[in-house]
Structure 1
Amino acid sequence: MKAIRITTEQEFEAASRIRKVVFCEEQGVPEENEFDEYDVDPSTDHILVYVEGQPAAVGRLRVVGDAGKLERICVLASHRKYGLGKAVVEKLESLAMEKGLKKAKLNAQVQAENFYKRLGYAVVSDVFMEENIPHVTMTKEWA
């Protein structure tokens, strides 16, 4: 397994394919809502996780206020339960730390809430709907 910061169009296309499969095909998010202006913003960092040379998981990081906002985290169904989600989160947190940020936040699907709690995140909101999927906002701080 190797987690990298996306630097080429080919890597971004691979990440986009994973997002389409997971969010659009599996979860029913319209493609026009999945992809937004932050995807092409040069200040947004995107990461890709490879397993045996094949793209398998993705995520992105934006700076929002004083926090790193972790977004679009997903793992192909064939690669779930192998720690790739944790690898995505750790890589995004590492990039946030490199930017001098001391905390991260994310909007987690409720079904993934316990996953993020195990990684040190705490719920800071009530449940809300995003793309007809229940979510909560979660945060984590580090020294």
Structure 2
Amino acid sequence: MLTSERVESKEQLDEAYRIRMEVFVNEQGVSPEAEIDEHEEEAIHVLVKYNGKAAGAGRIRVVEGVAKLERICVLAPYRKHKIGAAIMAELEEVAREADLTKAKLHAQTQAAGFYEKQGYSADSDVFMEEGIPHIRMIKKL
């Protein structure tokens, strides 16, 4: 069973950070200093749990009047359970509640197909972030 929650406690935030460190730092080689950044406090974070265990995380910020979805990740053992889609749905709900009508994200190119299935379309050339190829994608909410 999947459940989505907005992070409200230090314990929840620690869970989100733990997931992000596992996926982005341990698996993908992003530096810990780059992963936890100066935008953490302004962002709204979400956790998705699978059978009660924290399995995925993401965050959202408002940047120039647009919802910017960031740090979307799912732990390896849970990647075939629609957790990514649940994270996206929760982040988009946060955006709609804030009366935002457009969302954007920087997708790793290897994940672009997933975001296309969520209704996003590419609107940039490939660029590098933390040594990983990305593409900017947008969606009207």
**1:108 matched to which residue of 2?**
107
For 2:124 and 2:4, locate their aligned partners in 1 and report how far apart those are by CA, in whole Å: 30
Length-normalised TM-score, structure 1? 0.96
The alignment-based identity, stated in percent, is 48
Q: Matched residue of 1:37: which SS?
A: coil
Q: Please report the RMSD computed on the Cα atoms of aligned residues, expressed in angstroms.
A: 0.6
Q: Matched residue of 1:38: which SS?
A: coil
**1:24 matched to which residue of 2?**
25
What amino acid sits opposite 1:119 in the alignment? Q
Q: Equivalences for 1:1-143 in 2 at 5 Å?
A: 1-41=2-42, 44-142=43-141
* Superimposed CA distance per residue, residues 94-139 of structure 1 (whole angstroms, 9 cap, x where no aligned partner): 0000000001000000000011011110100000000110000000
Gaps of 5+ in 1: none
Gaps of 5+ in 2: none
What amino acid sits opposite 1:40 in the alignment? E
* Superimposed CA distance per residue, residues 4-63 of structure 1 (whole angstroms, 9 cap, x where no aligned partner): 00000000001100000000000000000101111123xx10000011111000000000
Q: Matched residue of 1:94: which SS?
A: helix
Number of aligned residues: 140
Q: Matched residue of 1:15: which SS?
A: helix
Which runs of 4 or more aligned residues in structure 1 lie more than 6 Å from their structure 2 counterparts after TM superposition? Answer: none
Length-normalised TM-score, structure 2? 0.98
What amino acid sits opposite 1:72 in the alignment? R
What amino acid sits opposite 1:4 in the alignment? E
